[in-house]
Structure 1
Amino acid sequence: MCAASIPADDDRVVLEGRVEKRPLGQGSKSAHEGMVLVLADGSYRVLRRPGGNAMRDPVLEALEGQQVRLRGRIRPNFFLLDPMDDEPSD
């Protein structure tokens, strides 16, 4: 578990950090700028929302520059967020 994480229910964790836009996938066909959560130790996790576009997500882009606390699941290549409070539910 990450030093910046707080245990949550089941396999979910809460991560705290600053949301930034960074180059991702450099050198591949899927190179793009994406949103990441930069943790206190300088490491980062790529952010993804269920149903959100992996290349450009306006909901995550709106968080750029903010210090946040996000809940979700750590996956091998990204942090999959739980649905956010201001998202419409299905």
Structure 2
Amino acid sequence: MAHVEVDYPRLYWLSFAVAGLVTLVRAVVQGLSAVTLQTLVLLVAGMVVFGTAARGLKHPEASGAPTEPTPLLLVAVLGATVYSVFTLATIV
């Protein structure tokens, strides 16, 4: 069986970057019909999450992200993935 190298810090930050982008898309789509407080909160949350993830992706090893498969990594990546998939499903 082939050995697969996984860059765990990059995977961690990439999952958060996708979740941040999905949140921004949701805020924009929701804002097309009416701008509410929820829309503004989603917009700010998406920008913060995406901005933090983008900084983490620049230097993933020095960012404090898990460097090996840990429960934190598993929960964070699965949580961000499930959030992104279900949020995209509600947008479409």
Q: Report the TM-score when normalising by structure 1.
A: 0.25
In terms of fraction of residues, the more helix-rich structure is: 2
In terms of fraction of residues, the more strand-rich structure is: 1
Q: Radius of gyration: which is bigger?
A: 2
Structure possessing the higher relative contact order (Cα contacts under 8 Å, 6 or more residues apart): 2
